[in-house]
Amino acid sequence: MDCRCGDIRRCRSDIRKINYAIVLMEGLRGIDMTIRSDLSSLAGDNFMYMTPYNIGNITETESQMHKEIELQTSNIIEMLKDKEEYLNDELKDMEDEDYDYHHRDDD
């Protein structure tokens, strides 16, 4: 059993980075919804200049893209949360080991 202070510091750093990545990925959802809204507005603004076929085609393409982006974003967020949970468990184990190491002579 060795001192785990360095490992603990690196693990906490990794957890912070993963938390930041989750925040960024969740922000992508908001951006995707803004894009979807803007495309709908654009289609509405250009209704007089586009054929119904073109409007339907654009709407269908955007809808498929939105579903793919949402699915991939959700998968990545879930993967990051799983990794964060794993690292938190590892951190707890390291902290216990480190405590035992630093207090082994207290007995």
Q: Does any domain span residue 89?
A: yes
Domain count, the chain: 1
Q: Does any domain span residue 107?
A: no
By residue range, what is the domain housing residue 11? 5-100
Instruction: Supply 87's token pair.
Output: 């690292």
- What are 46-98's pLDDT values in tens digits? 666 666 677 677 777 777 888 888 899 999 999 999 999 999 999 999 999 99
pLDDT at 12 over 80: yes
Q: What pLDDT shows up at residue 14?
A: 98
CA 26 to chain centre: 6
**CB 5 within 8 Å of CB 88:** no
Q: Does any domain span residue 60?
A: yes
Q: pTM score, two decimals?
A: 0.76
What angle do the packed helices 52-102 and 5-45 form, to 10 degrees? 170
